[in-house]
A and B are shown apart, each in its own frame.
Chain A
Amino acid sequence: MTATTTAKMADGANRVSLSWFNGWTIGTVLVAMIAVLPIAAVVYISMTPSDDIWQHLVDTVLGLYISTTLYLMIGVGLGTLVIGVSTAWLVSMCRFPGKRIFEWALLLPMAMPAYVIAYLYTDILEYAGPVQAMLRDIFGWTTKREYWFPEIRSLGGAISMLTLVLYPYVYLLSRAAFMEQSVCVLEASRVLGRGPVRSFFSVALPLARPSIIIGISLVLMETLNDFGTVDFFAVSTFTLGIYDVWLNMNNVAGAAQLALVLLAFVSVLVLSERFARRKKKFHHTTTTYRALPGYLLQGRAKTLAILACALPVLFGFVLPAGVLASYSVIHFDVAMNTDFLDHAFNSLMLSSLAAGLAVAIGIFMAYGVRLRNERLLKVMVRLASLGYAIPGAVLAVGVLVTLGTIDNGIDGFMRQTFNISTGLLLSGTIAAVTFGYLVRFLALSFGSIEASLGKITPSMDGAARSLGHGAFSTLQKVHLPMIRGAILTASMMVFVDCMKELPLTVILRPFNFHTLATFVHQYASDEQLGEASLAALSIVGFGILPVIILSLAISRSRPGHEQGDEA
């Protein structure tokens, strides 16, 4: 009888709600909703009728924006495809001098923001620059009319700049794909009578296709996001158009409408990326790993291979970084006089803040999904990670509109109740910039933390829980220690991306507030590269951090890949 009584008491005491409402779920849904707000705001504003600027845009610039953006995407897409895939194949499958160095050096241009090399190459290649001056000296020309030289500040120039710094995405992903491929399929192809080149086109390339598509999608997202280069080269893309309509024509609705068209481009990219990722799962072949073939290259093939790998590194990193370093030395005093330390502090502070928050929120969301694998939660999390695909200029419009609405709401409320005007509390503050960074880079931290959590078997959770630890204690004692590496990587990636970020920062920053990136943008566009060189060099220096981590990760990723270095 006592037994039944305790049973009843226990029944009552332990009755818990079985609906999906609990702390983690509510929190995750809330965070996701906040992250989606700016995007929703863009869509909403673009639907609100305004003084008919849309018709005006259609009549005047829309066609130009669309065609320029398309040309830019095609150019950068093809350029990064050719450079990325060919270099990846060379360093994964062939043996030639310097291969070991190229393996990581090919990633270096990732550290270069596109706008920085745009300023540098303009400086080098324009009429007054050293290259044309040298040509004039040699051939005795005196005026511009006497010879033809390609104009760097053009669509072609923008394509070259973006290709040079973005090809590492394709390189990274296709290299990972080549290294993942079982050498057995390649050997099977060889035994069935196909040579190395035909095997590449009929086996290796099709197997790597999903990864290559993911790489190209990421490249094109970055292309759409670029503001610094197209602004400086005056190439009329959508991103530039949004900025122009909004700040110069002072028309938010028009900017939002342009942003919406840009989002259509983006959603094609996001969908193709998702589709490729899903397809990738079916592309795994056998699990037998052996040393990759390592075709030994000789003679002309060797020279060509070295050139193919060296040129992207030379033009994408070595040359611009060298020029930047020498400018920094020459103009050191001038550069220090421009409040360099203040700007560096601003950059470090903002980037650390955003990285810390992004990682904390990323852990929260990833663990929330792990705890309750529910459809609603998954959808919300996907929405929250959309930001990485949204160009900074579009997000900036959304953030401004969102924060403006909140500010006005608070102001109205305070005025009505206390007769005090609070003005703009959030707009044009560091909080606004941080919010923008978070929305844009949350996917980066969430993605790497989710992937790392996914590698922990669910038995770990079960074991910890059955040993008396609750959900939070399990996270703290089991998961966090196990994913330390991923947390570090994630915070560093977000940190560096925030350091480089330009369009969001330019639009959202407080008045007279500079980060290294906005400072470089302002001075370099005024052709005062000397003053900006130290700041630019600092951005590149931080940018090298993730390159190091990525190259370490990729060389560890494939068991049994320790050969071919004696070439």
Chain B
Amino acid sequence: MKGLHIQGLSHSYGDNKVLDNAGLIVPAGELVCMLGPSGCGKSTLLRLAAGLEKVQHGKIIIDDVTVGSADVHLPPEKRHIGLMFQDYALFPHLNVIDNVTFGLLDMAPDKARLLAMDMLTQVGMAAQSDKFPHMLSGGQQQRVALARALAPEPKLLLLDEPFSGLDTNLRETIREETLSVLKNSGVATLMVTHDPEEAMFMADRIKIIGANGHILQAGRPHEIYYHPTHEFVARLFGMMNRFEGVAADGQVETPLGAVATDLADGTPAEVLIRPEGVILGTSDNNQGTTVEVTSSHLMGHDNIVRVRLGNGEGEDLHVRVHHTFEAELKESFSCRLDHEYAFVFPLDAESEYTNTELMDAPTSEEISAAGE
């Protein structure tokens, strides 16, 4: 198949095992995002794919050619991959155009220049082609780095936290531009990030990594958000309201109502509810639980309201409501649950997930995509 295929990769630095039997597929034309906390081994996986580290156990295959395994090591310069660093790593002694032509080794100089200018036009940097990296802003450097990585038409593009060096406003613009350039080029792309929002925005498919490079969940952004299979995944997108209970008759009781579950009866469970899953209504109709407002903060396009359960038990709940919603302190509301945003996990989550299959077996969808 075209694209990147990683099988059973394990890697240690001394006694420190950073990857344990990790697997991954990035089909041609797709953007796959590895999302995980720092130190989870995602950068190591990127370095291994690029050939900057040697494989200890496992296999890396690019476009059907094994480029790295315990006894094969194709040096990075022979792999035809693009790599974009967190700090962009533009060569400070070369100007923009020379940076971009740096990878066009087998091309006649004037032809390379034309191609590089074309790339620079795509990322909107053609006017700056004579400038040196230190004269560019962070956003401009990022664009040049992208052009440089894409110019040799790599089989695979690796992005290491590509937007972390940019400030919030710029990040959103550059993200959109980068995505459109990548989609135009149709290159298989593997990106690592620790920013869930970034992953949701960029990725066709997200792999969420826990410790040791174990993939906790893989899927399209929609699945990750609405059907998290792991407590850690559910918590990635901000604060959650949490209740503990015990599964009985296929559901777990919470003060806001029962939530359905597959867990066997008698299993201790926790219920996580997103703030947007708690719906406030007028307290007159006497439906649902009564709550009292303890604080309200306008966050921009919505409000975060803290409410206390009518019986005064437990911690305050966080509720996300539209910004036009106005709540007085101590005001009472009725409160019900939107089941789309409520998830049940077994309380003893550790044992549950170390028993899952470590290899991220390709889904049927991925296999059919690869065959195309």
A-side interface residues toward B, CB under 8 Å? 3-4, 6-7, 10-11, 14-16, 18, 457, 459-470, 477-478, 481-482
Contacts and interface: CB of A to CB of B under 8 A. Distances in A.
Contacts of A14: 67, 72-74, 78
Interface string B75-87: 1111111110111
A6 B65 contact: yes
A457 B92 contact: no
A466 B78 contact: no
B105 A465 contact: no
A140 to B, nearest CB: 72
Nearest to A12: B72
B54 A11 contact: no
A459 B141 CA distance: 14
Contact of A3 (B52, B64, B83, B85): B64
The listed residue with most A CB atoms (<10 A of its CB), out of B65, B76, B90, B92, is B76
Contacts of A469: 77, 102-103, 105
A15 B148 CA distance: 29
A559 to B, nearest CB: 16
A402 B31 CA distance: 62
Contacts of B73: 14, 16, 18
A470 B89 contact: no
A464 B85 contact: no
Q: Identify the 7 closest CB pairs spanning chains A and B, nearest first.
A: A467-B103, A459-B89, A465-B76, A459-B85, A466-B83, A463-B89, A3-B64
Taking residues whose C-beta sits less than 8 angstroms from the other chain, chain B's interface range is: 35 or more
Nearest to B103: A467
Given A3-B64, A10-B65, A466-B76, A482 B93 contact: yes
Contacts of A16: 72-73, 75
A457 B66 contact: no
A6 B65 CA distance: 7
20 contacts: A6-B65, A10-B74, A14-B67, A14-B74, A16-B75, A459-B87, A459-B89, A460-B91, A462-B47, A462-B83, A462-B85, A462-B89, A463-B89, A463-B91, A465-B77, A468-B77, A468-B80, A469-B102, A477-B102, A481-B93
B75 A470 contact: yes
Given A14-B72, A460-B89, A468-B78, 20 more contacts: A7-B64, A11-B65, A11-B66, A14-B74, A16-B75, A459-B89, A461-B52, A462-B50, A462-B85, A463-B85, A464-B91, A465-B75, A466-B50, A466-B52, A466-B76, A467-B102, A469-B77, A477-B102, A482-B91, A482-B92
Contacts of B79: 466
A468 B71 CA distance: 22
A15 B67 CA distance: 9
A6 B50 CA distance: 20
A482 B47 CA distance: 24
Contact of B82 (A11, A460, A466, A477): A466
Contacts, number: 95
B51 interface: yes
Give the dominant DSSP class at A's interface: helix
Nearest to A14: B74
Nearest to A478: B91
Interface string B95-130: 000000011010000000000000000000000000
A461 B79 CA distance: 15
Contacts of A4: 64
B152 interface: yes
A6 B72 contact: no
Given A464-B102, A466-B50, A468-B103, A18 B71 contact: yes
A477 B105 CA distance: 12
A459 B76 CA distance: 13
B78 A463 contact: no
Contact of B65 (A7, A18, A464): A7
A462 B64 CA distance: 23
Contacts of B103: 466-469
Contact of B52 (A6, A7, A462, A470): A462
Nearest to B157: A466
B77 A457 contact: no
Contact of B54 (A7, A18, A461, A468): A18
B81 A466 contact: yes
Given A15-B72, A478-B91, A466 B54 contact: no
